[in-house]
Amino acid sequence: MEKLFYKSQKRKRLLRVSSSSVREGEGVGKDLISLLPEPLLCHILSFLTTEQAVWTSVLSSRWRHLWKLVPRLELDSADFTNDQVCVDFIHKFLALQGKSYLREFKLTIDHDVFDGEARLYEPCLGRVLLDMRKFERFQVENRFKLDRVCYIAIPLTLSVCEALVCLKLHFVKLNVEFVSLSLPCLKIMFLEDVFLPSDAAAEALISSSPVLEVLKICLSKDDVVVALRVCSPSLKSFTLKRVQRRFYVRGHSVVIDAPKLEYLSLMDYYHFRSFKIISMADFVKVDIDVVFVLMTDSLSEKTIIDNLLSNFSGVKDMTMSWRTLQFINSSHQTNPLPKFHGLTCFRATMCLKASPELLPVVLESCPNLKHLTLELVIYPFAVMTSLSTVRLPPCLVSSLESVEMESPVTEVATELRLARYFMKNSTKLKKLVLRLNQSSSTGVKHKPSVLEQLMDSPRCSSLCHFEVIPVVPTPNQSMGPDQW
């Protein structure tokens, strides 16, 4: 609190200078904002962080105590001199507010600023959680150094949360079973690196809301969940992320029963022995960006992958990363990839050097594909392959209508060979767009005559519209090997 008020006093001196300058001018209008009703002023302050709301106490006597009545508490421990000062401020704020005002609570505990005592927060968080009947949003986030993992054991007993709409927890420990949990209004739930005590507790928490729409789970490396069941009649978006562990045991499984599910994202380390989707919406978008991790039994790579992909044979829209695509292809060297008969829209990231060999293989598994989007990237350890045209994938002959590619410019012009491949073999193609990244770091550019020859290349489809667009990449578009 002392740091917050120090900042507010500093701003008070600045405001005095500013107000005196205004009085020396032509005139000053009335302070109409301060004449607004107190509830409306508190509503305006609720759009600010608690620190910013405290700053307004120096405006005038009318504003001095308004911040104490704001129904929202948002704090970052980094704004205090130490954890104890932050905890004391929370206790004082709750004492000033009482239970009838607070609707939103957000606490960020930053362990990078100073080595604090995480357990200091347990009593005040327990006090906050004593009465959550009218809470609409509750969020606790832990930030810490990469070499340090610090859990906060929160006695989260949410037996009655009548108004809670959004629940976001990051690096906390839930040590209750949620036997009588009821969250009738909860629509958004983020459980990132949250320790869940059992399979039953995880299922009860997910199923506690009849109106849940967005669910994001990052399974903690130390949790004990073996069988994750996601059963929700209202769920529309589900993201599942798994952090890396040193050892994986047999038996981990995922079951999804969500008849309204429209978006599914799988991220990072995939280690599940079984993955089964009982129900989802007729049109669902699937985004897969995982590294497959073998377990400690003899289950083969191909079996693990086929178990996952068999759930998506009828999916119409899919996005897949290069690391996932590469692993799937390597595990099916002697066998064809699974067929995605329902897939009409496919987005993928591919290594530019490996794309000539891999692209026909991928297209072969998508016989009814209509729209293809490729992001071609340079990976320094990839081996250059040749473009195979021995057997044309069925979709090139019968269904493919549009192709969009984004690629860096290379000396060997692999990206141009891929464009010619589609122009020469796609009988139904209506649109082909090639976005060329003109990177100043490589200094590679195509000769104008090369692009002109490409534009004049023969086209199998008379309706094909071909377009080349230069793109200047931004710094955050660059991707290094550690991101694969």
pTM given for the model: 0.81
pLDDT(224) > 70: yes
Q: Is the separation of the CB atoms in 340 and 318 below 8 Å?
A: yes
- pLDDT band (50, 70, 90) for residue 163: confident
Distances 46 to 43, 70, 79, 442 between C-alpha atoms, Å: 5, 6, 19, 49
Distances 183 to 163, 172, 180, 190, 237 between C-alpha atoms, Å: 8, 19, 10, 14, 18
Identify residue 172 by its one-letter amino acid code: V
Count of residues for the chain?
Answer: 484
pLDDT(212) > 90: yes
- Residue ranges in 193-297 assigned as alpha helix (H): 199-206
- pLDDT band (50, 70, 90) for residue 3: low
Q: Is the separation of the CB atoms in 277 and 300 below 8 Å?
A: no
Q: Is the separation of the CB atoms in 170 and 190 below 8 Å?
A: yes
Cross-strand partners of 218: 192, 241
Looking only at Cα atoms, what is the longest distance across the chain? 85
Question: What's the pLDDT tens digit per position in 278-312?
Answer: 999 999 999 999 887 665 454 566 778 888 888 99
Angstrom distance (rounded) from CA 410 to CA 438? 10
Angstrom distance (rounded) from CA 151 to CA 128? 18
Mean pLDDT computed over 69-81:
84
Phi, psi of 201 (to 5 degrees): -65, -40
- pLDDT band (50, 70, 90) for residue 461: confident
**DSSP structure class, residue 2:** H
Question: What's the pLDDT tens digit per position in 417-450?
Answer: 888 888 888 888 999 999 888 764 556 676 667 7
Rounded to 5°, angle at Cα 275 from 269 and 276: 150
**By percentage, how much of the chain surpasses pLDDT 90?**
22
Q: How high is the pLDDT of residue 235?
A: 97
